[in-house]
Amino acid sequence: MEPDALEDLGYRAAVVDLLGVLACGELTAYERLTADAAMAPDPEDEVHLAEMAVAEFRHFQQLRERLAEWGVDPNAAMAPFRPALDRFHTMTAPSDWLEGLVKAYVGDGIGIHFYREIAGALDPRTRELVLEVCEDLGQSDFVVDRVRAAIAQDPRVAGRLALWGRRLVGEAISQAQHVAAERDALTALLMGEVGAPDRRLDLQAVGALMNAVTAESSRRMQTLGLSG
């Protein structure tokens, strides 16, 4: 543990919130991938999603253990974020296998990129954990291959999935803003009011972060062969 950083109560509260929302996200991702696996068109795809689900659960365990190490109840740390995540997943429940894949790649990708960008404001040990739980689980190549193959087989699929992808982006940003507005500690971290020594964000960095997240969502849509 880095005492210089975590002894700052404001920074500690922000890190607990950050790990809490990440843990909640990993747990819900595990639950969703497990359910999506049931829609897989063949056993190979089902196994691939099951393996991704297992990896998400392993990341959840890492976050839970770190919170417990700090004397924080992981369930209490996650509780404030469950309603927003539940709303997002309820409003973006995929109707078929392809929509589930686009959600995993585009919707989840926004969050992953955001956390990677904000990791620069964290102390080294926390930053390492955040980057580790945000690593690619092999879904990128898998999803791109399956979605592009579906579009090649039926080009009409692209239009439907492009609309779906834009909806995912809008809902993800909306829920993220809602969470940030309700959690003062997270807002303070984003606005550079707290942070690890010499790593606090400034207004220019915040603007660059949001631009990077928006650009990443467009990049992911284009990679799938969809118009952003």
User: pLDDT tens digits, residue range 93-118?
Assistant: 898 989 999 998 888 877 787 788 78
> What's the CA angle centered on 114, arms 108 and 116, to 5 degrees?
105
Residue 190 forms part of a structural domain: yes
Domain that holds residue 161: 3-223
Residue 59 forms part of a structural domain: yes
Residue 174 Cα to chain centre, angstroms: 14
The answer to which of 56-60, 126-130, 181-185 has the lowest mean pLDDT is: 181-185
Residue 31 forms part of a structural domain: yes
Residue 228 forms part of a structural domain: no
d(CA 137, CA 53): 9
pLDDT at 33: 87
pLDDT at 22: 92
pLDDT bracket for residue 162 (50, 70, 90): very high
d(CA 210, CA 118): 10
- Contact between 182 and 193 under an 8 Å Cβ cutoff? The reply is no
Q: What is the CATH number of the domain that holds 101?
A: 1.20.1260.10
Residue 103 forms part of a structural domain: yes
Question: Is residue 114 helix, strand or coil?
Answer: helix
The model's pTM is 0.85
Question: Per-residue pLDDT for 16 more than 90?
Answer: yes
pLDDT at 196: 55
pLDDT at 1: 38
For 167-209, how does the pLDDT look when each residue is reduced to its tens digit (9 = 90+)? Answer: 998 888 777 777 766 777 777 777 666 655 555 555 555 566 6
Higher-pLDDT residue of 179, 154: 154
Mean pLDDT, the chain, whole residue set: 83
* Domains of the chain: total: 1
Residue 27 forms part of a structural domain: yes
